[in-house]
A and B are shown apart, each in its own frame.
Chain A
Amino acid sequence: MTRNHRLVHRYIWPALAIVVAGLFVTALVTRPPPEPAPQEQKQ
């Protein structure tokens, strides 16, 4: 790899890790609550 490719690697991965981790957590936090089981619905 050229020096420039290695430089891009060095910066892109921490940035990508932060962005993806943020969106991943957001997607999990904002997911709808689980549907109640059929037995609970009857009660």
Chain B
Amino acid sequence: MSAGFQAIGWNRQKIVYDLVLLAGVVLYIATAIALDWRKEPPHNAADLCGLWIRASGACAFLMLTLVLCIGPLARLSRVFLPLLYNRRHFGVLTCIVALTHFAAVLGWYIADGHPFNLFFELTKWSDYASFGTMSFKVFGLGALVIMVLLAATSHDYWLAFLTPPVWKALHMLVYLAFGLLLIHVAKGLLQDERSPWITAYFAGSFALVAGLHILAGWREAPVDRGEAPRDGWIHIGPPSSIPDQRARVVAAPNGERIAVFRDGDEIGAVTNLCAHQNGPLGEGRIVDGCIVCPWHGYEYRLKDGCAPPPFKERLATYPLRLNDGMIEVEPRPLPPGTPASLRIAGA
């Protein structure tokens, strides 16, 4: 969290996550190379580079597909939340695999005896006149540049420096990278590879990622439409309608979401946006009097939205009242860290 700088806050879960990822990458690339080698053994250094180009390219595409599925899956079902915890390491490893793919391409040109041909291909400006004549490598390079930018700014230092909304907006460029990658494949590999299964695999991967994002967005739209306040207050319901140590999430029309938590007889309302990465706090739970973000475990006290010492993050809280036995929240944020919780006997 925020108490002091650490390059990576390693813990057992992150180490296991990364080891599983690394083992998966090694196994995938080794298997792909072995199968390719058996089909067509390499005769020279250029062929060896070709083996790595195909294996690492396929691996990077699969990894990016999986990385992009994690977000919407976690929004659709809590089962997938553990995958979200260390998603940044997954993304950075994907970028590293993609960089080895690019290095192998450069190696192929050098082994072929024409080290500058890639530069000449990419700077043949007349090819950019139409989509049909553009080199497939331009699309791959565009995707790689985006992935390097995102990997370089993935650390919490950049998250704090840019602020979570700007950082999140920047990292949405990964969707563009995925689109560019698919065009790279369609204009490259699929020009020679005629198997309908391989075409279906790539098209299906994109349809899966796009479909999951569209479905998750569609499922969440009703909450964002919000509820019109009556006399300036949004109706929540009786205290018992809020599950113990969980939250109900509401929003005013055109407003940000508010998470109304109950911890026994204490009820508090905070912004739904975690101060770390704007994760959905309302999908988290209360442990030892603190709201725990479901994404990365950041904690905030229910009574005032402050992270417990020595951490310094603070959340905006919202005024609550009990009106005729019903909890109501005023959709006007109080300054971060303002105590605003209610204690209701027999809640």
Contacts and interface: CB of A to CB of B under 8 A. Distances in A.
Partners in one complex: yes
Interface of A: 1-10, 12-14, 16-17, 19-21, 23-24, 26-28, 30-32, 34
Contact of B256 (A2, A13, A23, A28): A2
Contacts of B218: 10
B275 to A, nearest CB: 12
Interface stretch (B27-35, B100-108, B164-172): B164-172
B67 to A, nearest CB: 15
B190 A27 contact: yes
Given A2-B273, A3-B224, A9-B217, A20 B172 contact: no
Nearest to A31: B191
Interface stretch (B78-86, B178-186, B260-268, B338-346): B178-186
A14 B218 CA distance: 11
Given A1-B278, A5-B169, A10-B217, A34 B175 contact: no
A5 B273 CA distance: 12
A13 B209 CA distance: 9
A7 B255 CA distance: 12
Given A9-B213, A24-B182, A31-B190, A1 B175 contact: no
5 contacts: A3-B254, A3-B256, A5-B172, A5-B278, A13-B217
Interface of B: 131-132, 165, 168-169, 172, 175-176, 179, 182-183, 186-187, 190-191, 194, 199, 203, 206-207, 210, 213-214, 216-218, 220-221, 224, 251, 254-257, 273, 278, 280
Contact of B203 (A10, A14, A24, A32): A24
B213 A20 contact: no
Given A28-B186, A31-B191, 18 more contacts: A3-B224, A3-B251, A3-B255, A5-B165, A5-B172, A6-B220, A7-B224, A8-B169, A10-B218, A12-B175, A13-B175, A16-B175, A17-B207, A23-B131, A24-B183, A26-B132, A27-B131, A28-B190
Nearest to B215: A13
Closest CB pairs A-B (n = 9) = A27-B186, A10-B217, A17-B210, A13-B213, A20-B179, A27-B187, A24-B186, A31-B191, A13-B214
Given A8-B172, A13-B175, A3 B278 contact: no
Nearest to B199: A28
Contacts of A17: 206-207, 210, 214
A23 to B, nearest CB: 5
A3 B186 contact: no
Contacts of B255: 3
Contact of B206 (A3, A20, A32, A34): A20
Contacts of A16: 175-176, 179, 210
A21 B211 CA distance: 13
Nearest to A13: B213
